[in-house]
């Protein structure tokens, strides 16, 4: 099925969770924020939050600096 990830189309398997999506991107889960259709999803909810066709997902990785 098709979703939009950070503004770009992406194919994922049906019933993919946010947790599975993040793992597939090889992104460290620490310091990530995930927004689904305009709503921030708590990290504790990632495993049970399943993606649906045409969902819009934004993933932001926070980086320290100074």
pLDDT number for residue 60: 92
Name all domains of the chain by residue range, CATH numbers in brackets. 2-61 (3.10.20.30)
pTM score of the predicted model: 0.88
Burial class (CB in 10 A: 0-12, 13-18, 19+), 51: buried
Which among 63, 58, 65 has a CA at the least distance from the CA of 22?
58
Q: 36: Cβ–Cβ under 8 A, 6 or more apart, which residues?
A: 18, 49, 51, 55, 56, 57
Each residue of 32-56: pLDDT tens digit?
999 999 999 999 999 999 999 999 9
Each residue of 6-23: pLDDT tens digit?
999 999 999 999 999 999
């Amino acid at each position: 099925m098709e979703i939009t990830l950070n503004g770009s189309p992406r194919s994922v398997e049906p019933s993919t969770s946010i947790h599975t999506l993040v793992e597939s991107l090889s992104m460290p889960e620490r310091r990530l924020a995930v927004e689904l259709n305009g709503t921030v999803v708590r990290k504790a909810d990632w495993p049970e939050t399943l993606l649906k066709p045409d969902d819009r997902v934004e993933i932001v990785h926070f980086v320290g600096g100074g």
